[in-house]
Every structure is written in structure tokens, then in C-alpha cells.
Chains A and B, each alone.
Chain A
């Protein structure tokens, strides 16, 4: 079967946030030292010095407290070659990932070595820290490692974002941007419905087992576990079953409050979906109110329910409670 069949709709889905991580005392101590271009390890229950430090001991789980300074130089324990670096990795030119045991430490740290080529790195090699030009209190203050005898090279990354803190206060929060790209695909059933919307149509699908009309349709009827099949074109009128008035702004919100978020039961559908009700005072919206879709101009249509800007009252008498009570 073709990988991207024309029937399936897909679009990018980018999920990202700059996570703010409070470090606690041990990692806080470690990153503050990094800012000063020093490395502090910590002694474990078995006497091993861990660099980077660990907050809780791998053997006894006890909280560790005894910091031990370690050197800026160390030995490569093992490595692999990264020929095509990915986004956000320490270098944008090919480099080696390596486990490096700093002098004075008994454990090794995972980091990058700017060796230039795989022929120029080997296990047992002596390497040194190449500090970032600007250190902020973050693991990336270690920009990468270099072979001890190699010439200095230029970092390819910017320093990470920095959390605000009071003058003179130690770093206690590290910021890690995490931005991932996905390709979202709609199911075959949903794709048909979305293509219908692009033509100004509301197309529901009926489950062959329970015969209920779903809009939007899903990959499987949720009560029967089989794909919904027969298409049913629905009018763009319906009833408000229930609703709320959204009065609160929040991160990621695209509409300005206050607005009515309502469940709309289209005539002929067996399930309501969420949409907006505008075109009247929010306080006038009622359970049972009859509404009609208000479409955006045709030239703005694409494969999305957003083609309907909102629903607005038709002015008809409200639907009887009994007609929608079982949809609440």
C-alpha cells in the first residue's frame, strides 16, 4: 500500500515548551560550579566519585552530600561517531559521543568530543573540557570536549535560555527547550469528513453495528470497535445541549474571552461536538437553544471545522429538554 495515500490528510504537529527545571541542592551545586568553570563530583556510598554528581546513590538510594572537585581533563572510556548531528546536539558538525571519565572521578559522563573525524578519537584518549564562551549554570556550559593536544575550536550552539533570579542568588533553575516535530495524520474516516468541510459540507458517518451517526467520525465506533462506514450528510443546524462561558485567558488560547464553548447536536447526528456560540450575548445562550452555523467566507475554507466560525441562534423556539436530555 502506498505510504501516503491521497485520501489521508496530514499536517505538522509541533509540540514544544521551554521547561524550567528546579535543580535542588545537589544539581544546583553542580551547575553553579560549571558557571565558574569548575566541575564538582559527589562521593557515593561505595566510595566512588560520581561526575556528574547524582542526588541519590545508585546502591543505597541515600541522599548524597559530600562533594569532591574533579579535573577538567579526563579519559575517553568509549565513543561512537555522530556523522549527521540532529537538532540541538552539542555540535552541528560531525562529532563523537563519548563516555568520559574526568580525572578524580570514578564514573564517566556522556558528552561530545569535537575530534574532527573518527580516526582522531580512540578509547583511552586524553580529552579536556571546551567551556562555552558564556557560562550560565547549565550542563551546556561544557560546550564539548577536545583532545588535550588539539587546537581550540569554535562552538556551534548558543547558550540555553536562563531563568531570572535575584542579583547574587545562585542558579537554581535550568531551562531546557524541548521542541519536537511530528506529522499528524487523520484517520480515513476523519479525512473524508474534513474534505467535506472543505466543500462546506458536514458529513457524519454511521456505525454499521449500532447505526448511530457520528460527527466527527472516528477510526472505530467507540461502543462497537468497528470503523464507521456509511456517509450521512447533515444540515448545519442543531441544538445546544449544554455549554459554558469561558472567561479565563490561558497559554495557547486563540480566542479572546468571554466566549461560549458549547456542545452542538446537529440535526440528524447522535453525538454532539464542541464549538463556539456567538452572535448574541453570552448570557442569552441556553441549553436547548436552536443554532445555525455561521461559515467563514468560502475563500478561507480548508479541511477543518474552523470553516465554521461559530454557531448563532436561529431564533426558533428552544428544543424540548427530552429531545436532547440523553445527550448530556
Chain B
């Protein structure tokens, strides 16, 4: 089975509101051009296309169909779609290359969160009989999870503010970041609660964005980039949806995915944590030591484009392997409320 590598990555500017449409075409066309330019490939070189997006984000049934215009899908293409973060579309593409069906794949994700009221829309991910009819919003649920950890002594409000401050400072070096800058932890702690116990800095921004990754088998990747980022392992698991029936301060699905992977020697981690406390849950679940650099890109707290944020974590980790900055990295993506479903990918330089 051939090894699969990441040969290219590009992302749209992460903004509060794109002028483009909910079908993503305006965000995708430039980044397809960008990733093709970087890799020297064209659409004819792509064996399989796979995307991640959500109809409910767009308010349109079949909203992913129009996105295909961005590809120029004629002659016909080998293509599929998941209604999940595009990190899972990457998983599907990885399978196709592993089994030799194709040599290259292009994976993309997109979402225009600003089109609707995201907090409200996400209530539709919950149990439709006994939870959604109450319309709990995503931030309130995260707040409940955060308080459990605060009261158990697993983290403090200061720990959370430090994560926010570090993320924003790191994001200053990321041209795609939406939020960035130097902030003082004490100043952050002095701001009012948005959803007690969460303050504004604990919560990812609402972001419109898109991302694209080109995968290929390792041989091809070597022609494209000097240090291909090889996917040496990729696992994903899901937890029970019943929020009141599991310990929300842990992420068993992340732990299970990690247990199936070799994370020894990981130097940096791009974790898809839209809330500060969730970074701590994930660190613990992945068993990452103090010396592992977390979210050098700034992470989801500085840009959280729904349905491409997880893919972007993989792309950001891969970029640092491409640049020679790291030799082994882990990237993570999440789906659902309170870290219900998680994907973990290990990337290594070859």
C-alpha cells in the first residue's frame, strides 16, 4: 500500500464575512489556482476530488453541488462529498490513494458561517426529540463543559486566557488569520463573561473561509515538494451524543484515536479547538508533553471557518514539515458539540 503525502495546501483569507456566496465558489477559485501554481499540477492531474461542507450552514439543500463549478468538472471527474469537516473528506481521499485507485487527490472544504446565525444552526446537531426543541446554542454547551473542568480543578480561567493570548500572538505571523495581536492575560481576564464562564477570548470567532489540500502518493509528492509531509497514520472515532451521559472533561474518542497511532516524538500539534478549554482536553487526550508546540498557526481560536477548520489544521501542520520547521507533527479535527467526534493525523517528513 503506497504511503500518502500532503503535497500542497492553500486557504482563503479567514474573514468575518466574505463577499462570496454560500456555495463557496468565490472562495475556492483563487485557492485552487494557488495550490495548482504551488504544486505545478493542474486539474487534469487530479485523480479524485472530495469535499466537506454543510447544507445547513448555507440554508440550501444540495449546496455543495454548485461548489463543483469551481473545479471546472468537465470532462467528468471522480468525486465525492461528505457533509462533515473536510478533514474527513481527506480521510476518504487517503483511502483511495492507499488502495491504489488513484495517485493524487484534491480535498477542499468551505463554509460561509456569516450567512446564518451559526450558534442557532448548530442546535440542529443535537438530539431532535429532547434537546434541539430547546434550542441550546453551541457556546452555552461549551460553557457547561468548561465549568465542569474549572470546578474539578482541571484548568483555571487564567489557564484559558493564556491559551487565548498565546494563540493570538502566534496568529500575527499567519497572514490567513482573522484575529491576532499581542494581548495581556490580566487584561483578558478583566473582560466580562459572554456566556459565564466563557469570555469572548475563550470562543472562536465566526469565520467564512475555505481550504484545499492536494494529496499524492509519496513518489509523486517528492516531485512536487522538497519535504513531503507523509500521513503516517490517520484515525477517527466518535463519542456518544448524550451530553449528560459522559464525562465532558475528557475526549474518549480522541484518546482512542491516539492509542491507535504513534505519537512519539511529535514536535508540534495543530488542534482544532474552538474553545480554549478544549485545547487542554485534547492535549491530555493526545498525551502531548510540555515541549510540544501547540497551534503555531494560532489555531481555531484565531480563525474557525466551519467545515474547513479541521482540514486547515492538517494543512498548517503539513506546511511546517514542508518548510523544514518540524519533522513530526500531529493534526486534529473535531465535529459535533463538545468534541463529540475527532480525527487525528500524524505527519512526518520523509
Interface residues of A (CB under 8 A from B): 1, 3-5, 8, 13, 15, 19, 21, 23, 27, 30, 48, 50, 52, 54, 58, 77-83, 86-90, 97-99, 101, 107-112, 118, 123, 138-140, 160, 174, 176, 178, 180-188, 218-227
Contact = CB atoms under 8 A, between A and B. Distances in A.
B224 interface: no
Contacts of B73: 222-223
B243 interface: yes
15 contacts: A77-B148, A79-B144, A79-B147, A80-B197, A81-B193, A90-B134, A97-B141, A176-B132, A178-B124, A182-B58, A182-B115, A219-B20, A219-B29, A220-B69, A225-B72
Given A81-B193, A218-B25, 6 more contacts: A77-B244, A83-B193, A110-B244, A185-B115, A187-B21, A219-B70
B230 to A, nearest CB: 29
Nearest to A5: B19
Contacts of B71: 225
B21 A219 contact: yes
B105 to A, nearest CB: 17
Interface in B35-49: 43
B68 interface: yes
A211 to B, nearest CB: 14
B129 A27 contact: yes
Instruction: Kindly list the 6 A-B residue pairs having the minimum CB-CB distance in the complex, ordered from nearest.
Output: A80-B143, A225-B72, A108-B244, A219-B25, A182-B59, A81-B196
Interface string B241-269: 01111101000000000000000000000
Nearest to B25: A219
Nearest to A8: B19
A160 to B, nearest CB: 7
A99 B131 CA distance: 12
A118 B74 contact: no
A78 B147 contact: yes
B115 to A, nearest CB: 5
A140 B140 CA distance: 18
B29 A54 contact: no
A219 B69 contact: yes
Given A79-B147, A185-B21, A174 B129 contact: yes
B19 A223 contact: no
Contact of B245 (A50, A83, A225): A50
Contacts of B43: 225
A271 to B, nearest CB: 13
Given A89-B135, A90-B134, A185 B19 contact: yes
A15 B147 contact: no
A181 B130 contact: no
Nearest to A23: B129
B110 interface: no
Nearest to B128: A21
A21 B194 CA distance: 34
Given A8-B19, A50-B245, A182-B116, A89 B72 contact: no
Contacts of B120: 86-87, 180
Of B68, B119, B120, B145, most A-chain CB atoms within 10 Å: B120
B22 interface: yes
Contact of B16 (A3, A97, A108, A138): A3
Contacts of B3: none
B244 A99 contact: yes
Of B16, B43, B115, B121, most A-chain CB atoms within 10 Å: B115
A222 B139 CA distance: 38
